[in-house]
Amino acid sequence: MMTDTAPGPALGEPRLSLPLCILLTAVLALTGCGEPRPYKETRFMMGTLVEVSVYAPEKAAVQAVSRAFDRMAQLERVAHAGHEDSPLARLRRGEAVVLEGDLARILEAGMAVARASSGAFDPAMGELVDLWGLSMDRPRRPSDGEIGEALARKAGLALPSGACCPGGAPVWMDLGGVAKGYAVDMAVELLVDAGVASGVVNAGGDLRTFGRRPGRGIWKIGIQDPDSPQELAGVLQVGQLSVATSGDYQRYFEEDGVRYHHILDPATGYPARSGLRSVTVLAPDCVTADALATAVFVLGAEKGMKLLEGWPGAEGVLIKEDGTVLLTGGIGDGIRFERAGKGIRDQG
């Protein structure tokens, strides 16, 4: 009697060929199957599209995200001059305003960057910002005379300091360069307090990550390519950090063949021409990253790099008009940056 002596698997055991195992592994890896998905919600607010993306059980996520949006809406009412009853609107009317709480902290953060940048970031740009109409989507090229007069009035402004602004002369503050960042910080604080383990709050590019990104541990943050709105100039890999970008490529208008963008140089009253196209700043908090990005854009590469190198915990990715990229010393030390854009290249 012949018997089959070849070893075989016991009945009921699954058997897969090697090629299929490889194929299965490749498909699962490529599709990211098994990777946790965040709960996401977006809303129009603070003049931009805000996305909150969290990793948490859905019921808890819905509640926490809703509260985070409520907090940001409350801050928008405080720090936006467009709201008639906001402290900023009242300051513009020359009314007495007590500066406290959130508004005082936003102003304090802005003034710290203003001092360190010798005024390259200036919270007193309200009249000039309105004159150019870029924040209100009514762009126009003001006359040189109008700009000169607004600059003179700005030079005479006594910015409120301490807790009280007694009223009198109108004070045209514009906190657009810091308020969004502060709102992001406060939203993250609220989400963490609510027990959300990790996520990203992104207010039109001013963003903050918190916790460990499930699946890969680190967060991947794309930097928009200044020349191609749907392409990335590069990708940052970070832990818990804030990131903000200032660039000349998104909000602008053209008149008589000249392009006017929205980042005004406080010294001239005209759009900054510093040789940079985009400045991305990384910092522990978003309000600082936000203000520093504007200041560095106005200062230009050399002075801007010095400002960042001297600011504790700040790093930067600067893209010049010719596409070259400058990185501060701390990039590569815990923070990775990979170039992606076609026109993006190393310095030198």
Partner 1 sequence: MMEVKTRPRITDGALLVLLAVFTAVSPRLLPAGAVGDRVLVQAGGKEWGVPLLEDGRREVPGPLGPAVLVVESGSARLQNAPCPLKICERMGPIRRAGEVIVCLPNRIVVKVPGREVVDAVTR
Q: Which positions touch partner 1 (CB under 8 A)?
A: 9, 13-21, 23-24, 27, 30-33, 42, 44, 47-49, 51, 53, 134, 137-139, 200, 202, 204-207, 209, 213, 219-224, 229-230, 232, 235, 243-245, 247, 250-253, 280
Token pair of 36 as six digits: 């946790």
Closest CA to 287 of 148, 167, 175: 175
Q: Which is nearer to partner 1, 37 or 83 (CB)?
A: 37
Q: Are 53 and 39 in contact, with CB atoms under 8 Å apart?
A: yes
| CB of residue 298 to partner 1, shortest distance in Å | 18
Q: How far is CA 74 from CA 71, 79, 272, 309, 341, in A?
A: 5, 9, 31, 34, 38
Q: Are 83 and 89 in contact, with CB atoms under 8 Å apart?
A: yes
| CB of residue 222 to partner 1, shortest distance in Å | 4
Q: Which is nearer to partner 1, 7 or 348 (CB)?
A: 7
Residue type for position 327: L
Residue type for position 264: L
| CB of residue 231 to partner 1, shortest distance in Å | 10
Q: Which is nearer to partner 1, 160 or 211 (CB)?
A: 211
Closest CA to 240 of 204, 192, 278: 192
| CB of residue 156 to partner 1, shortest distance in Å | 32
| CB of residue 221 to partner 1, shortest distance in Å | 6
Torsion of CA 188, 189, 194, 198, to 10 degrees: 40
| CB of residue 183 to partner 1, shortest distance in Å | 16
Q: Which is nearer to partner 1, 35 or 108 (CB)?
A: 35
Q: Which is nearer to partner 1, 16 or 169 (CB)?
A: 16
DSSP H or E stretch at residue 201 = strand 198-203
Rounded Cα gap, residues 29 and 159, in angstroms: 56
Q: How far is CA 346 from CA 202, 315, 341, in A?
A: 28, 17, 12
| CB of residue 115 to partner 1, shortest distance in Å | 25
Q: Which is nearer to partner 1, 153 or 336 (CB)?
A: 336
Rounded Cα gap, residues 214 and 77, in angstroms: 34
